[in-house]
Chain A
């Protein structure tokens, strides 16, 4: 029959149109700014730097090893090493990035920096509403703009963050067990001395002093390494 193709087509359209009022499955779109679909956990956009604790500058995990800078395919990372050192998560004095810039107008969100980072310091963010009227400065993020807390990391990638925390806790407990054995005698004396935030001079083989610098996290590790796998997401890090 002439025109039955049109009728068949219109019937299908009508079915879908009417169906969209009945079944949620048929509604394939959402009204974006008001309504948002939850992002999948693996979702990635641009990198950020993870810090532990409250102070973003003190807690940055990055040790400025510049591996990500070297491996980055479009070369959008720029790092300057610091002159002095600060303790990292195990308490070892490490240099830190005096400058850490990512040009997100160049970044291609490939995640290779995350894969090659041996310190779990750089992770992928899921923020995507990054429009700015400043084309150059607004898209060139420095380390302060890049820094996000570990809690934030737990929020956006819960599974991955718990795995990372478990791995770091295990590493830390290993290092501490070694340090305790090495500096058994010195430990008691060092614990009595007042806290200093950052040792200005690098003191090799002085784990006790660094343990002091971050007492809360050290206290936590003892119980952490037992149930490291099942560690709750947001209470893993020191409060003060």
Chain B
């Protein structure tokens, strides 16, 4: 034990003293995975201390993509910050838009027309489907199924992105929601196209499930690996599919009823074990629930304006106060905290990104597992570095 290559005093400089003891045979090896590693979804580094194949220490290092997002938000107007929220989690720009619009609407006491609320729900659920589909695709890619599942997921995602482009003008940087509604109305042609895409989605999920749910390799690599205990998940502030995979029933759509989510019937899928397989399955089932919400919303969509006529676009100055608006983004709880001092730009602007907070338990999930599993566990957290580093 005492004859290891890295001495205990060097490990003391890490964020926490090691929890797992090395078996004392051979030397410890310090490996930097990333910042340019195919599995890191961008620029992210994991400093790993290995005892043979076993991980005995892991330190996530981020900040490579830091671009002063919060300071930017504080130095310009409320409206001008809307396109920047697209760049947080660039897979789900529409839910980011919604969370920010929700916070500012709460701050200004702004009403949102009925049709705009429905459009927001439709777009948010489409975002959830495409985010989960691509997350699962990436996860399988990291499992060694190189290419095919990811491309199948991206094929479906592309259909949804085409819908986004024909409505908002951009595939990923949508910049669609405004304080008091949405920027443009959806045409009947767009709604028909959406119905067609939504009707085609269950077949895609069936295909995925048929091949993957009982796949030997997937089960061998996923079950019992990277277990997150529910008590730790709650204490660490984990949210989203990761928390629900650990068996904690907490979905902000059900808890907060923000928007008009109380009008839809949907279930919240929960996991049992909190391992990678449960996280994968929870996402699979959530896609099915999203499709059911989409079908209900598309059926009930009322006519009317999409923008409150009293809403101000320019010279928007909310009265002083502070507010925290949060939604259930595909990755977890996305919150925007704003303090207004009555000026055109917020006095304080703070984002609570789900990816960043879900990453904090990475070490606890990885300790004791093999290096190859670190890549998988990391993939099952579902992060986007744009949101982690801001």
Contact = CB atoms under 8 A, between A and B. Distances in A.
B81 to A, nearest CB: 7
Contact of A112 (B79, B173, B207, B215): B79
B211 A9 contact: yes
B166 A110 contact: no
Contacts of B170: 43-44, 109
B263 interface: no
A103 to B, nearest CB: 16
Interface in B143-163: 148, 155, 158, 162
Given A9-B211, A44-B169, A109-B173, A73 B81 contact: yes
A42 interface: yes
B175 interface: yes
Contact of A110 (B173, B184, B217): B173
A80 interface: no
Nearest to B178: A115
Interface in A106-137: 108-112, 115-116, 124
A239 B215 CA distance: 68
B217 A5 contact: yes
Nearest to A39: B165
Nearest to A75: B76
Nearest to A118: B314
**Size range of the chain B interface in the assembly:** 20 to 34
Contacts of A9: 148, 211
Interface of B: 76-77, 79-84, 148, 155, 158, 162, 165-170, 173, 175, 183-184, 207, 210-211, 215-217, 313-314
A13 interface: yes
Given A28-B155, A42-B184, A116-B313, A73 B173 contact: no
Interface in A1-25: 5, 8-9, 12-13
A73 B84 contact: yes
B190 to A, nearest CB: 9
Contact of A43 (B80, B155, B169, B183): B169
**Size range of the chain A interface in the assembly:** 20 to 34
Interface in A196-226: none
A41 interface: yes
Contact of B207 (A12, A40, A73): A12
Nearest to A13: B148
A28 B165 contact: no
Contact of B167 (A13, A42, A73): A42
Given A73-B81, A110-B83, 9 more contacts: A5-B216, A43-B169, A44-B170, A72-B80, A108-B83, A108-B173, A109-B173, A111-B169, A111-B175
A98 B116 CA distance: 40
Nearest to A3: B216
Identify the 7 closest CB pairs spanning chains A and B, nearest first. A110-B83, A40-B166, A73-B80, A44-B169, A42-B169, A110-B175, A28-B155
